[in-house]
Structure 1
Amino acid sequence: MADRVVSEVEWIFLKTLSAKNRFPPLFVVGAPRCGTTIPLLHLVNTFEFSYFPNISKRNPQHPLIAATLGALIWDYTPTTESNYGVVKGPMAPSDGWQIFHRWFPRYDHSEQVDTESLSDLRRMVAFLEFLMGGPFLNKNNNNSTRIQELSQLFPRSLFVHIRRNPRDAVASLIRAREEKGVSPDEWWGVAPPHRHDTAPTGTVERSVLQVCEVDDHIRNSLQEISEYRRFGVWYKSFCEKPERLERWVEDKYDDFGSDFVRHANKPTRTAYTPSSSWKSLSISTRNQVEKLLSIHCR
């Protein structure tokens, strides 16, 4: 009962807010297990960004009230540690899946997007900008297949596309599916939009299709957006020189005339070590992956 009342109060408040955003939001996109979390955390640790914190994700019916109360009680402690994309701490950045699912049905592109209420998402972002003092930043694999809708909702939005050696991404996805106990006939993470109900049964083939075809979908979607608003980088290249991404982000917000703030206590970390699960796969599985990659990846 109390939860419902709080949710209704937030929605009433939300309708009174201006839908005008101070900054272009920044979306980090990539296929599952392609290394999007480390770039996200590097940006959050380097610049003043706003985002859906974990406490908002845990309270998706009233995420703004949760974020406001959370900001009064806790601070975010900069970290580069995560567990399959999940960062510990109530005010640490989250993907906000449960919140975005109000408008974008989870993984299922056959369902209609609730376009009539999408302006509510824009208002939420505007409030988080005010609360946290910086542009909105999000990394959510499901949104990697919603680039067109996000670009229409936020006409100045920026996109960072993280790509990874397909062998490493597939190996990481296979390992994650095994650890999470995912059935061979189920997806784990966002699926290629046109294969939601037509995918083959089998962990290896699903993993290859997921990595290759989601990445293809991202690249095709980004081709519809001005080159000025998008930045692509391989995960290994980012790990070697993260300052390239820093400079691109900083230059873009400078161009927009945004009051963009770099943390005074900027982390001294200037490189990361990319990991790989490739050699943990059996030889037969590696051979199967290589064969499927030669068919499905370009």
Structure 2
Amino acid sequence: MSNTKENLFAHRNVFTKFLNAAATWTLHPLEVALTTRGREEECQICFIIGPPRSGTTLLFELLTTEFECAYFSNIAQRLYRCPVAATWLDKSAIKGRTGSFDSAYGQLSGHAAPSENGRIWRYWMPGASPYFAEGDGLEIKEMRQKIAGLCRILGSPMIVKYLHFQSEIPRIIECFPNAVFIHIERDWAENVRSILRARQKLNPNSHRQWFSTRPEGWEKYVDCDPVIQACAQVALCHAESQKNIPVSDKTIHIQYEELCEEQGASLQKVENLFRNNKINYKRLFTNKGKFDVREQEKFDAATEEKIRITLEEMKARIF
């Protein structure tokens, strides 16, 4: 992996930085008190893993509405130095949330909505991919206590979706040895089209700039055109998952298309995963019905042929 460093955090202006610091200082005693109450046996955690634009956000929100789950909310993201206290203050809204399914490129609206919470994980693990920042972060014991504190506050297991953990699975297993994993996969060509559309939308003036997660081996493709980059990203993400996620009863695999069309079957897999690993869960049976499979508009014939050929070459070379 590259050791290129990036800024961990950014604030809109000095005023918001001051407000965040003031709120953190005020909530620190509560954060400490709530964290120390967490017991290790309460630290039950499930990680969602998959390439960008593969359906991870849909799965994340579905699980947090179909099951009683703890998660990092948008307010915890803002108050990343005291997420347990932030969750305690907002617990009624989090518990009462029914889901909006209005995500925009991985972001859900509302202070109580689930968030990837990259700020928290970067603060806890500054040396992790893709930031490789200096700093010790939190001790493993403290991370477990904080997760246990969140589980205690919300009375349910923790669901985490943070795509950069694609490259940190061994570290995650070291920190949370009883963690379970849900790996989601989308039709590879559709996944590539979705990544390319997102790049066009979010980085219209920097279409060659690498987008989102950086799986092992991404550096080889950093100077390639966007189509090759997107194909490599999907293939390398799945290769990395296959290499690092335990092949055991702690892992299940879900297909995005099945999740949309046969929601019940996918949720039953999750329920079995929780039950087999003695995770205390409560199914709510909210009956969200079917979701539309977001089929991406195809590109011109030459680009589509390039996607097809490149993916075939990637599969032959990597797997």
* TM-score normalised to structure 1 length: 0.88
Q: 1:161, 1:232 within 8 Å by CA — same for their partners in 2?
A: yes
Change beyond 3 A, Cα 1:114–1:293:
farther
Aligned counterparts of 1:248 and 1:218: Cα–Cα separation in 2: 19
Distance 1:198 1:109 in 2: 19
Q: 1:156: Cα distance to partner?
A: 1.6
Report if the CA contact (8 A) 1:7-1:61 is conserved.
no
Contact 2:195 2:230 in 1 (8 A): yes
Residue 185 of structure 1, CA deviation: 4.0
Q: Which position in structure 1 is the counterpart of 2:197?
A: 175
Query: 1:293 maps to what in 2?
Result: 311
- Name the structure 1 match of 2:288: 269
The amino acid of 1:60's aligned partner reads: Y
Deviation at 1:17, TM superposition (A): 4.1
Residue 45 (structure 2) pairs with residue 45 (structure 1): no
Which residue matches 1:83?
104
2:89 — aligned with what? 69
In structure 2, do the counterparts of structure 1 residues 143 and 19 end up closer, same or farther at CA, with 3 Å as the change threshold? farther
Q: Shift of the alpha carbon at 1:77?
A: 3.0
Match of 2:162 among 127, 137, 140: 140
Between 38-47 and 159-168, the greater mean CA deviation after superposition: 38-47
Distance 1:197 1:105 in 2: 22
Indicate how the Cα distance of structure 1 residues 288 and 104 shifts in structure 2: closer, same or farther if over 3 A, else same.
farther
Deviation at 1:162? 0.4
Counterparts of 2:29 and 2:176, CA distance in 1? 26
Deviation at 1:99, TM superposition (A): 0.6
CA RMSD, Structure 1 to Structure 2 (Å): 2.6
Is 1:22 the equivalent of 2:42? yes
Task: Kindly indicate whether the alpha-carbon contact (under 8 Å) linking 2:31 and 2:84 is maintained by their aligned counterparts in 1.
Answer: no
Residue 283 (structure 1) aligned with residue 301 (structure 2)? yes
What per-residue deviation string (whole Å, max 9, x for no partner) do you get for residues 217-270 of structure 1? 111112xx242111012211222222223222223333344442122xx32234
Between Structure 1 and Structure 2, how many residues are aligned?
293
Residues 189-213 of structure 1: CA deviation (Å, up to 9, x unaligned) = 1112333486224222211111111
Q: Gaps (5+ residues) in structure 1?
A: none
Post-superposition shift, 1:15? 6.3
* Structure 1 counterpart of 2:269, from 237, 248, 257: 248
Q: Are the counterparts in 1 of residues 23 and 79 from structure 2 also a CA contact under 8 Å? A: no
Determine what percentage of the aligned residue pairs are the same residue.
22
